[in-house]
Structures are given as C-alpha cells and as structure tokens.
Structure 1
Amino acid sequence: MADEGVAAPRKRGRPTEAERAQRRDDILDAAVRLFVAGGFSQVTLDDIVAEAHVTKRTIYTYFGDRTEIFLAAVARLRHRTLGWPATGDSLEELAANIAYALHSDEAIGLHRLMITEVHNFPDLAERFYRDGPEAYIQALHDHLPAPDPALAQSVFALLLGEPHRQRLLGLRAAPTRTAAAEHAHRVLRQLGLEAGS
C-alpha cells in the first residue's frame, strides 16, 4: 500500500489530449503572470520554464518562442470568448461574452502589456490587434442582422468604452457575468440592436 501524502509517480507514455491541453494552459498561465508582472521584454524563456515547471523543449514543442507564447495567450482568450457557451450564440450573448472577457484581469493585463511594449515590438502589436480586437469586431459583424462593418466597430467600441479605460487604470473591478450582460444589453439597446427591435 502506497504511503499517504506521497505523490504518485508521473505516468509514463504519451500524455492524453486532456493532459496536453492542461499543460498548455499551465504554460500560458505562467507566462501571462510573468509578462504582466515584469513586462514582455524582461521575461525570458528560462523564466517561463521555471514558473511553469516544464522543460525548454516542452515550451518549443507547444509554442516556439516568447512572441508565439504571448500570441497564444491572446488566441486562447479569443477562443474562450467566441466559443462560450456555443458558436450559435445570439448577438446579445456574444456581446455579453466579449464584455465579460475583455474586462477580465487577464485581458486587461495583456492589453496594458501591449500598450507598454508597442514601441519595442510593433509587429507584435499588429498581430495582437489582428488576433484580438479585429477578430472580435468580425465576430460581431457576422452576428449583425445586416452586414455593416462600421456598426460592428461601434458595438465593439461601446462594449469597451469608459469601463474599459477605468479597468486599464485600475479604477474599477472586473465585472461579474451579470454586470457584463447588462452592459452589453445597454449597448445594443442604444444602437437599436436589442432582441425584437
């Protein structure tokens, strides 16, 4: 009988898909913590290796370099936002998901980081915008009753608005899902896009 309190030996063989996904999330969580605390240029792959308790080979296998890790964190946030709870969300559900996600501590940390580092890493800023805001605007556009790129941009801008600026400045706490849904509803009503209008 194994002693209680002793960790089980690590399983040999290939990790399952769930184990691979969890390890990937653990690496991204560790990297985001380090990036937000120390800045993108100050964090090395060795720092991420130590924080995530993995090998450098594991980092290269999952991502590659530091830039790809940062962009993978942006992509993960987008995937979670646009894929929750289902791809068939209504415009109001999508808007609520975006409001909740982009006012979260993780998103605010990534946004602050990008603002700080934009002059040193302009290519990273372009990819951040394409993989982040531009993708959210496109998703909103795809959910509008009639195609209108300018309207999709307006919805996105209002979903962030002053609350997002206050979050960036540390003047407001992250919203609950209920508060984010209420904010999204107000935005859509203001633009004449609420359900049934």
Structure 2
Amino acid sequence: MANQTPSAPRKRGRPTQAERAQRRDDILDAAVRLLVAGGFSQVTLDDIVAEAHVAKRTIYGYFGDRTEIFLAAVERLRDRTTGLPAEEDSLAGLAAKIVFALHSDEAIGLHRLMIIEAHSFPDLAKRFYRDGPQAYVTALNERLPEPDPEQAQALFTLLLGEPHRQRLLGLRPAPDRAEAAAHAQGALAQLGLTGDLGRVERNRG
C-alpha cells in the first residue's frame, strides 16, 4: 500500500478575529452574488447557506435573516469607503472613493436590487437609504470647509450623476481609480470647491 501524506490536523478552538472577519466577508460575498443574480424574494437563507458553505447557525450568528445580510453588504461598502475620519481623509479623497465605490459592479448590483424590491419592502428601502446614501452625504458634509447639508447633498448627487444612471442601465463600464478621481474633481469644481486629493477648499474667486 502506497504511503499517504497525512492531512493537516483540523484547527481547534475559537477562530481569531481575522478569521471571523474573513468568514463574514465570504458569507457576504456569496449572498451578494445570489441576491444580485436572483432577486431578494427568490433567494432563500438555505440558498445562501449552500453558496457560502456554512451552517445555517453560522449565518444567524453573524447576521440573522436575509434583510440583515443585505444591509450588512450595504454597510460594508459604506465603511470601506468612508472608514477614515474627516481629519485623515480630504473631501476630494472621499469624493473620489465614493465615485469608485458606488459605480462599482457590487454597488450597482445592490442598487438595482433595491430599486426592484423597494415597493415590496418599504422598510428595507428606508434602511438602505439611511445606511447608504444618507450616510455618504453625512460623511461629505463633515469634510466640507464649512458644513452645509444642502451642499453635501448636491455634491453627492453630482458624484453619481448621469454616469451612474448609465451604469444602472448597463450602458458603461465601472470607472477605474483615475476616472473616478476625475469625475470627483469635476463635481467639486461645479460647486466652487477646488483642490487636489490632499486638500480641498472653497473657491472664493
């Protein structure tokens, strides 16, 4: 009988924080793939369990039901985009990251899904807006030279703009980092805000 290489012993004990974070990301990635492809009503928790290769109790331990999984994906995208505090992230820097993130395939998929399901799940739509768009506006407002909620909302609208509509319709590809930065700079200029990715100030000229 041929010698067989023994398999590595299975790790015992509690997973580390990094392992838990990776497991959480893996579950969210699987859920987003299914939800974007199949729709919120059609995808069951069992489908997500099978796609993520985890036990149902693991899903409950991290999130709960499908609603919480969907919102966790929205929050993850937001946190990855706005994670730095205002004193460490300029307005131009955040604006460029918002364009790059919200025009990405993942964000567009989540947005399309919410548009389809908003009528059937109005509470989910409210939470999506609070944890997504409204949170981005708040983050922009914190980085304005002088806080102005209306200007922050106008800037957020420009950071989406017609290119975002075209993305939703599948008429253009996601921007790369350079294209996202150029889009952000154009939006800032329209509101009289000038500067580079390190500093932005109001144009008083």
TM-score scaled by length of structure 2: 0.91
Q: Does structure 1 retain, via aligned residues, the 8 Å contact 2:99–2:184?
A: yes
Per-residue deviation at 1:88? 1.3
Q: Residue 128 of structure 2 corresponds to which residue in structure 1?
A: 128
Q: Which residue of 2 aligns with 1:149?
A: 149
- Describe the shift of the 1:87–1:59 C-alpha distance in structure 2 as closer, same or farther (beyond 3 A): farther
2:33 aligns with 33
Q: Report the 3-state secondary structure (helix = DSSP H, G, I; strand = E; otherwise coil) of the residue aligned with 1:194.
A: strand
* DSSP-derived class of the 1:110 partner: helix
Identity %: 75
Root-mean-square deviation (Å): 1.8
Q: Cα offset for 1:170?
A: 0.3
Alpha-carbon separation, structure 1, partners of 2:27 and 2:137: 28
Distance 1:179 1:59, change over 3 A: same
| Letter of the 1:164 counterpart | H
In structure 1, C-alpha distance between the alignment counterparts of 2:29 and 2:86, rounded to whole Å: 24
Residue correspondences, number: 195
C-alpha displacement of 1:147:
1.6
SS at match of 1:31: helix
Q: How does 1:54-93 map to 2 (within 5 A)?
A: 54-83=54-83, 88-93=88-93
* 8 Å contact from structure 1 (residues 84, 97) kept in 2: no
Residue 87 of structure 1 deviates from its aligned partner by: 6.4
Tell me how far 1:148 sits from its aligned partner: 1.1
Tell me the SS of whatever aligns to 1:147.
Answer: coil
**Residues 1:76 and 1:171: Cα distance change in structure 2 (over 3 Å):** same
Matched, 1:162 2:165: no
User: How many Å apart are 1:10 and its aligned residue?
Assistant: 3.3
Q: Which residue type is aligned with residue 151 of structure 2?
A: L
In the other structure, the counterpart of 2:46 is 46
Contact 2:86 2:142 in 1 (8 A): no
CA contact (8 A) 2:155 2:187 kept: yes
Offset at residue 182 of structure 1 (A) = 0.7
Query: Conserved in 1, the CA contact under 8 Å of 2:49 and 2:59?
Result: yes
Contact 2:141-2:149 at 8 Å conserved across structures: yes
> Offset at 1:8?
3.6
One-letter code of the match for 2:43?
A: V
Instruction: Give the TM-score, by structure 1 length.
Output: 0.94
Q: Distance in 2 between matches of 1:159 and 1:116?
A: 22
Q: Residue 151 of structure 1 aligns to which amino acid in structure 2?
A: Q
Shift of 1:84: 5.7
Whether the 8 Å CA contact 2:141–2:152 is kept in 1: the answer is yes
Structure 1 spans left out of the alignment, 5+ residues = none
